[in-house]
Amino acid sequence: MNGVEGAPAGVTIDGSQGEGGGQIVRTSLALSVLLGTELTLFNIRAGRSKPGLQAQHLTAVRAAASISHAKVEGGAIGSTAIRFAPRGLHPGHYLFDVAEISGSAGSVSLVYQTVLLPLAFAGAPSTITLRGGTHVPWSPPYDYVSQIFLRTLEPLGIEASLELRQAGYYPPGGGLLVGSVQPAAVLQPPTCPATSPSAWPRGSPAASLGASCTST
C-alpha cells in the first residue's frame, strides 16, 4: 500500500495544540503512515514539563517508521521537531522495545495504538511484540486495551488481539506483550447500543460506543 489517492502531499502540525502532549504525536504518525502523507511536526510536547520526544514517543516514531519504511529527521530524545516521510505500508513481524532507550518503562500500549490502525490496512496479517511498561501512570494499562479498547473496535471491523506475557510496572518496566493485527477491508460505522445509558457498565465497550452516540 502506498497511501490514499487524493491525500495531501505533506502536512505540518503544531504539537503545542490542545493539551500539547504525546497524543498528537502518536495520532499524527498513525495518519501519516495510513495516508502515505509526509508529516512535519513541531513544538512536540510543548505543554509538558519536559518537552520534546521521550522514550515512549521516540519508540512510537521508530515503530511507525518500521512499518512504513519511512525516512525520519529529528528522531532523537528531546527533539521538539521531526520530519516523517512514509514509503509504503508493510505488514510483517515486528518487535518494539521502549527499554532500548535508556532502560525506560514507557507505555507499550501507546506504542501499540500508534501502529494498530495502519497495520489493519496493510493488506496482510501482522504480529507485534512489545517490551516496556504494561501498567504505568498516565497511560491505558494492558487490561483496558485488551478488554475495552480492542473490543470496542471489533464492531468497526478491526480484528486485533493482545496477550500479556509479563507485566511491567513503573519504574522497573520489563513487561512483554504479544499481539496480532488482521487485515481489514473497510471501517464499519458504529452501531449505538440499544439499551439505556444507565445500563452500560462503566468502562465497558457499550459505554465507550454509547458516549459517542449520546454526544451527537
Q: Is residue 126 part of a domain?
A: yes
Is residue 193's pLDDT more than 70?
no
- What's this model's pTM, rounded to 2 decimal places? 0.86
Which three cell numbers mark 45?
A: 510536547
Residue 197 domain flag = no
In a domain, 2, yes or no: no
Domain encompassing residue 125: 10-188
Higher pLDDT, 30 or 8: 30
* Cβ atoms within 10 Å of 185's Cβ, excluding its own: 9
Nearest to 42 by CA among 54, 58, 25, 56: 25
> pLDDT tens for residues 33-81?
999 999 999 999 999 999 999 999 999 999 999 999 999 999 999 999 9
Output the pLDDT for position 2: 47
Cell digits for 113?
A: 495504538
**Tally of domains in the chain:** 1
Question: Is 134 within 8 Å of 175 (Cβ atoms)?
Answer: yes
pLDDT tens-digit series, residues 162-177: 999 999 998 888 899 9
For residues 171 and 27, what is the distance between their CA atoms, to the nearest angstrom? 26
Asked if residue 168 is part of any domain, the answer here is yes
Would you say residue 214 lies in a domain? no
Q: What percent of the chain has pLDDT over 90?
A: 70
Domain for residue 211, yes or no? Answer: no
Residue 178 lies in a domain: yes
Question: Domain of 81: which CATH number?
Answer: 3.65.10.20
Q: What pLDDT is recorded for position 64?
A: 98
Give the pLDDT band (50/70/90) at residue 203: low
The full length of the chain comes to 216
Rounded mean pLDDT, 115-143: 95
Residue 72 lies in a domain: yes
By the 8 A CB rule, do 212 and 190 touch?
A: yes
Record the cell numbers describing residue 47, joined without a space: 505543554
Query: Is a pLDDT exceeding 50 seen at residue 103?
Result: yes
Do the beta carbons of residue 4 and residue 33 sit within 8 Å? no
